Structure 1
């Protein structure tokens, strides 16, 4: 299953030329991941970070930028699970404007204990979603 959501390119995302400044894409990508965990996995970041003191920091990220995005455009983000291991999750997020690809991002998240920083095995309730959604 692919998780799909949209983001409007706002002034805050752009450089003086009116195109998305690349670090802002990473903020958008993180918000897509956050929405996926809340809407699909059923574990929002507030619950993970505050209640269970766990998190999913990025251990690896690789991004190809295909074309610039401009102020006022609406980007469609598609998140797909590529692989899941005992403590990590590899995903691909592709962003489009209409049908034109804007970026492709492959990243690996690690489920960690926020106190120690050590990896933890995925809880069964979360892992079931990943296994079901793998492409």
Structure 2
């Protein structure tokens, strides 16, 4: 069974529109924060270390399906798994719930990039090895 990275955060005033509902672009900031925490906390490869070393993980593609609104004060629970791991890319499967209710699902493709060359670069083997623990279980892919 694969591991799942989880992160919780509360919806704050700065996330909301005047009606007290999360303004949808803020979800993209939250998705980026989940990705950043995943690399730092689960993989031991913080962006603060990667960037000076000349590497990054920019977004190549993102698709979000919104299911229900989130409001000021809600506690959001995010999960992240890796749906696909390529030579220099990874497709992340991120879900967000609040009190058991689905708020959104996300599929995001990130690319491991050499910042000096501004082109894709293979995942370092040590990092790739850690990432494989978060690959979605094959049974989930066929379900």
1:3 is aligned to: 5
Question: Using the alignment, how far apart are the partners of 2:115 and 2:104 within structure 1?
Answer: 30
1:90 aligns with 2:91: yes
In the TM superposition, what is the alpha-carbon distance from 1:103 to its structure 2 partner?
Answer: 0.5
2:113 is aligned to: 112
Summarize the alignment of residues 11-26 of structure 1 with structure 2, pairs less than 5 Å apart: 11-26=13-28
Equivalences, count: 134
Summarize the alignment of residues 1-135 of structure 1 with structure 2, pairs less than 5 Å apart: 1-50=3-52, 52-135=53-136
Q: TM-score, normalised by structure 1?
A: 0.97
Question: Using the alignment, how far apart are the partners of 1:10 and 1:28 within structure 2?
Answer: 12
Question: Using the alignment, how far apart are the partners of 1:6 and 1:132 within structure 2?
Answer: 21
Structure 1 residue ranges, 4+ long, deviating more than 3 angstroms after superposition = none
Question: Using the alignment, how far apart are the partners of 1:129 and 1:61 within structure 2?
Answer: 23
In the TM superposition, what is the alpha-carbon distance from 1:129 to its structure 2 partner?
Answer: 1.3
Question: Using the alignment, how far apart are the partners of 1:31 and 1:128 within structure 2?
Answer: 22
Structure 1: give runs of 5+ residues left out of the alignment: none
CA RMSD of aligned residues (A): 0.7
Structure 2: give runs of 5+ residues left out of the alignment: 137-143
Per-residue CA deviation, residues 10-39 of structure 1 (Å, 9 max, x unaligned), is 001000110000000010111011000001
Question: Using the alignment, how far apart are the partners of 2:44 and 2:18 within structure 1?
Answer: 38
2:84 is paired with a residue whose SS is strand
Aligned 8 A contact 1:7 1:28 in 2: no
Q: TM-score, normalised by structure 2?
A: 0.92
In the TM superposition, what is the alpha-carbon distance from 1:116 to its structure 2 partner?
Answer: 2.1
